[in-house]
Structure 1
Amino acid sequence: MNGVVIAGVASGVGKTVATLAVCRALQRTGRVVQPAKAGPDFIDPSHHEAATWRASRTLDPWLEGESGMRRNYARGSGDVCVVEGMMGLYDGETSTARVAEALSLPVVLVVDASAGMESVAATALGFREYAARSGLDLDVAGVLASRAHGGRHEDGIREALPDELTYFGRIPPREDLEIPERHLGLEMGDESPLSTETLDAAADGIDVDAIVDAAREPEWFAAVEDEDDASARTTDAADAADADDRPTVAVAADDAFRFVYAATREFLRKRAEVVTFAPTAGDDLPDCDGVYLPGGYPELHAAELSASPALSTLADRAADGLPIFGECGGLMALAESLTTVDGETHEMAGILPADVTMRDRYQALDHVELRARTEALICPEGRTLRGHEFHYSEADPAIDARFAFDVIRGKGIDGEHDGLTEHRTLGTYAHVHPESGAFDRFVDAVAESGGGSRNGHDSSRAQH
């Protein structure tokens, strides 16, 4: 599968809109587009899915390791993979540049051209030369001008570019190409999708032939694809052999619980029977052997959650030893209470001994690394686990609260620990990816709980 990375010179230059425009332009030629996102973000991929009707792949070397990231890329399908970068091209230790280099993909540089012409070319040339000076094996192939007018403005940008930089087109300066924001970033793709008319207007300025010519299939792709196919056949055969022993995992899926990586959904469906439920819509917890509560926006739906029968049932089942794993928003729902920014306090499931309060500013934003203090639901004792945290809430745990992890990097719950645990319930501020091995261990625990054992399931996922 050929691929290309859409990177920005900085945050806020219009990478997401540019990515959607490129996807739309490719789709209009009849090509199948596989969207992807560099970094741990959940929100931008939701816009990819709304625009392309295909789940976006998460590509993050910290969460997945380089080999896991390549596997995740290879599990996509289509004619062209369009990877949206994060922040500026070179920003961060797991930057978009590092992702593009590891995947051997060319970079289309998005430059805000609203107040420049020749300077756009100078900026792009500097970004190209910086790669070589930094020792990166990176191909900054050319420029996509964001918020650029046509006519003289566009011509000035194109003519100023040196021969080694391709002009990939422009995104017009339109108000309807701005996606609304809230405290965790942009609004989700199904809340504020760009209309077909708007996307078409943005796609009109894309040089599709230039994008197709620049995109390439990495040399490593075929080998990883073959390896993953062989692994999938082995796993499918094992699943078929013990289909009756597959445990049932209930996954919360509604407006409060929506931050799930595509790879997580795929993994759970391979290892278990997945049933979804919507606590904010009044759904009770379905019959299951284990529960996964993803992150999301419980603070926006605290009243509905508090009134949901699912939270009471969760508390009862947790006391019986049901394995329950909650990430960030899931942790908040499993706590004693949740206080919104308006000062309203709502009772939550009451399984984990902590009160959660929303703050005006974010409390943590970083890649994290945790070490298990004891045998944890998602990690063996003494092993480390990598993830990501981004939250505006603050948890105040009880004095006698038990923690599953020491924090090596990040903030966690109290700056030193993450993973409140009670019975067989675990709630973390950290989001983890299946490539970490965390969901292997979780499903194994669920299988034991449900009477069907899948211990011994071999995984090639990264272990840290």
Structure 2
Amino acid sequence: MRGFVLAGTASGVGKTVATLAVCRAFQREGRVVQPAKAGPDFIDPSHHTAATWRASRTLDPWLQGEAGLLRNYYRGSGDVCVVEGMMGLYDGTTSTAAVAEALSLPVVLVVDAKAGMESVAATALGFREYAARADRDVDVVGVVAQRAHGGRHERGIREALPDGLDYFGRIPPRDDLEIPDRHLGLLMGDESPLSADALDAAADCLDAAALFDAARAPPKPDDAEDPAESTGATVAVADDAAFRFVYPGTRERLRERAEVVAFAPTLGDDLPDCDGVYLPGGYPELHADALAKSPALDVLADRAADGLPVLGECGGLMALAESLTTVEGETHGMAGVLPAEVRMHERYQALDHVELRARSEGTLTARAGEAIRGHEFHYSGADVADDARFAFDVARGSGIDGEHDGLTEYRTLGTYAHVHAESGAFDRFVESL
């Protein structure tokens, strides 16, 4: 599967809209598009899925390692893979550039052309030349001009580009090509999808044939995935508007290792018969009243006290706490399994790749002394009881209290860290059931 990376000059330059428009352009030519996202984000991939009807692959060297990165790329399928970058091309320890290098994919730079013409070419040239000066194996092959008009504006950009930098088209400045945002980022793809008319208008301005010609196939991974033998266990996975942050690779691995039964706590579902429960991250703060009234959380509390293994990540941790207080000051009772009171804040409390080390007794997702990598991004903080027990020491990141993560009670584990299936955490989880 050939592919390329759509990278930005900075955050907020319009990478997601450009990615959706490029996918649309390929689809109109009859090509099967595999969307992907560099970095740990859940929200941008939801827009990819809304536009292409295909799960977007997560490509993050920190979460997966380079071998895992290649495996996840090739778990996708199609004629062409469009990888949306994160932040600016070179920003971060596991940057978009690092993803492009690891996969040997060319980079198409998304440049904001709202107030420039020749400067767009100068910017792209600078990004290409920086790779050589920084000894980075990054091949910037051309640009998509974001918020660019046609006519003289477009010609000025195209004519200013030097040899070796191709012009692949533009995204027109239209109000219906803007995605509203909130805390944690954009609205989800099913909440605020771009219209077909808007995407068609953007696709009209792109050269899909030239983009496909620029794409290249990464090398196949040397090592195969571990055999995925089923454990025979049943895992109940919360799946509704409050719990929606799940990597495709995690869903796939859980289904390979266990029978997965979905349930929707905010819609009044009971907890299904199961051997273990996974509560992913999401937006419990937006559905706190429905969660407080959910029969599933009451049953979950009883079964957790009886020893049912329960794993909650970020939003899942919040739902397992004793209470959740919104920014407006409204306090709602949660499952009450974990000894913590959670409060939402106006500003984010943590944003980083994290590394956790399991303490001496081990835990549901890691053996004693084992290091596990993940990502945290949350606006809530947890006030934990004095006698709270933690499963992990934090080697990098913030965790729950700056030094620890993995609040634990009975056989329940709640973390602020999201981890990927490549970490082995979900294999460990289902094997413990």
TM-score normalised by length of structure 2: 0.99
Paired position in structure 2 for 1:398: 385
Structure 2 residue matching 1:276: 3-state secondary structure: strand
Paired position in structure 2 for 1:73: 73
1:210 Cα deviation from its structure 2 partner: 1.0
Paired position in structure 2 for 1:192: 192
Structure 1 residues 437-456: Cα deviation after superposition (integer angstroms, max 9, x where no partner): 1001001012xxxxxxxxxx
Task: Give, in whole Å, the separation in 2 of the partners of 1:299 and 1:410.
Answer: 23
Paired position in structure 2 for 1:462: none
* Between structures 1 and 2, the one with greater helix share: 1
1:335 Cα deviation from its structure 2 partner: 0.2
1:168 Cα deviation from its structure 2 partner: 0.6
Paired position in structure 1 for 2:403: 416
Structure 1 residues 417-437: Cα deviation after superposition (integer angstroms, max 9, x where no partner): 001000000000000000001
Task: Give, in whole Å, the separation in 1 of the partners of 2:334 and 2:357.
Answer: 28
Paired position in structure 2 for 1:255: 241
Task: Give, in whole Å, the separation in 2 of the partners of 1:201 and 1:445.
Answer: 51
1:375 Cα deviation from its structure 2 partner: 1.1
Paired position in structure 1 for 2:376: 389
Which consecutive aligned stretches of 4+ in structure 1 deviate over 3 angstroms post-superposition? none
Task: Give, in whole Å, the separation in 1 of the partners of 2:283 and 2:322.
Answer: 17
Paired position in structure 2 for 1:7: 7
Find the partner of 1:336 among 322, 337, 344.
322
1:138 Cα deviation from its structure 2 partner: 1.1
Paired position in structure 1 for 2:309: 323
Task: Give, in whole Å, the separation in 2 of the partners of 1:184 and 1:323.
Answer: 29
Task: Give, in whole Å, the separation in 1 of the partners of 2:334 and 2:344.
Answer: 14
Paired position in structure 2 for 1:441: 428
1:409 Cα deviation from its structure 2 partner: 0.5
| Paired residues for 1:127-146 under 5 Å | 127-146=127-146
Structure 1 residue matching 2:419: 3-state secondary structure: coil
TM-score normalised by length of structure 1: 0.92
Find the partner of 2:413 among 417, 426, 430.
426
Paired position in structure 2 for 1:308: 294
Paired position in structure 2 for 1:48: 48
Unaligned runs of 5+ in 1: 240-244, 447-464
Task: Give, in whole Å, the separation in 2 of the partners of 1:149 and 1:310.
Answer: 52
Structure 1 residue matching 2:109: 3-state secondary structure: strand
Paired position in structure 2 for 1:273: 259
Find the partner of 1:351 among 332, 337, 343.
337
Task: Give, in whole Å, the separation in 1 of the partners of 2:354 and 2:271.
Answer: 31
Structure 1 residue matching 2:281: 3-state secondary structure: coil
Structure 2 residue matching 1:78: 3-state secondary structure: coil
Q: What's the RMSD between the two structures over aligned residues?
A: 0.9
Amino acid at match of 1:208: A
1:103 aligns to 2:103 (yes or no): yes
1:276 Cα deviation from its structure 2 partner: 0.4
Paired position in structure 1 for 2:124: 124
Amino acid at match of 2:409: E
Task: Give, in whole Å, the separation in 2 of the partners of 1:345 and 1:217.
Answer: 51
| Paired residues for 1:197-236 under 5 Å | 197-218=197-218, 220-221=219-220, 224=222, 228=224, 235=228
Amino acid at match of 2:235: V
Task: Give, in whole Å, the separation in 2 of the partners of 1:104 and 1:336.
Answer: 47
Task: Give, in whole Å, the separation in 2 of the partners of 1:117 and 1:435.
Answer: 43
Structure 1 residues 27-57: Cα deviation after superposition (integer angstroms, max 9, x where no partner): 1000000000000000000000000000000
Percent identity over the alignment? Answer: 78
Amino acid at match of 2:354: V
1:163 Cα deviation from its structure 2 partner: 1.1
1:126 Cα deviation from its structure 2 partner: 0.4
Amino acid at match of 1:311: L
Structure 2 residue matching 1:258: 3-state secondary structure: strand
Q: How many residues align?
A: 432
Task: Give, in whole Å, the separation in 1 of the partners of 2:11 and 2:138.
Answer: 20
Structure 2 residue matching 1:342: 3-state secondary structure: coil
Task: Give, in whole Å, the separation in 1 of the partners of 2:308 and 2:134.
Answer: 51
Structure 2 residue matching 1:375: 3-state secondary structure: coil
Paired position in structure 2 for 1:167: 167
Task: Give, in whole Å, the separation in 1 of the partners of 2:32 and 2:396.
Answer: 39
Task: Give, in whole Å, the separation in 2 of the partners of 1:412 and 1:306.
Answer: 25
Amino acid at match of 1:259: F
1:209 Cα deviation from its structure 2 partner: 1.2
Paired position in structure 1 for 2:284: 298
1:377 aligns to 2:377 (yes or no): no
Structure 1 residue matching 2:18: 3-state secondary structure: helix
1:152 Cα deviation from its structure 2 partner: 0.2
Structure 1 residue matching 2:86: 3-state secondary structure: strand
Task: Give, in whole Å, the separation in 2 of the partners of 1:217 and 1:91.
Answer: 24
